[in-house]
Amino acid sequence: MDSVSVLKPEAYVDRMREITEAMLRGVAAAVNKAPNGAWINGSEMEVRDLMAEYRRQAYEMALQMRMDAAQAAFSPGGCKDGQASAQ
Q: Does some domain include residue 78?
A: no
Place 73 in a pLDDT band, splitting at 50, 70 and 90: confident
Domain residue limits at 19:
3-72
Q: Does some domain include residue 83?
A: no
pTM for this predicted structure: 0.76
Amino acid in position 43: S
61: CB partners within 8 A, 6+ apart? 12, 15, 16, 19
Place 63 in a pLDDT band, splitting at 50, 70 and 90: very high
- Looking at the structure of the chain, the number of domains it has is 1
Q: Does some domain include residue 85?
A: no
Cα gap 23→28, rounded to integer Å:
9
Q: Do residues 46 and 30 make contact, with C-beta atoms less than 8 angstroms apart?
A: yes
DSSP state of 1: -
Q: Is the pLDDT of residue 47 over 50?
A: yes
Tell me what the mean pLDDT of segment 66-77 comes to. 83
Q: Do residues 83 and 25 make contact, with C-beta atoms less than 8 angstroms apart?
A: no
Q: Does some domain include residue 79?
A: no
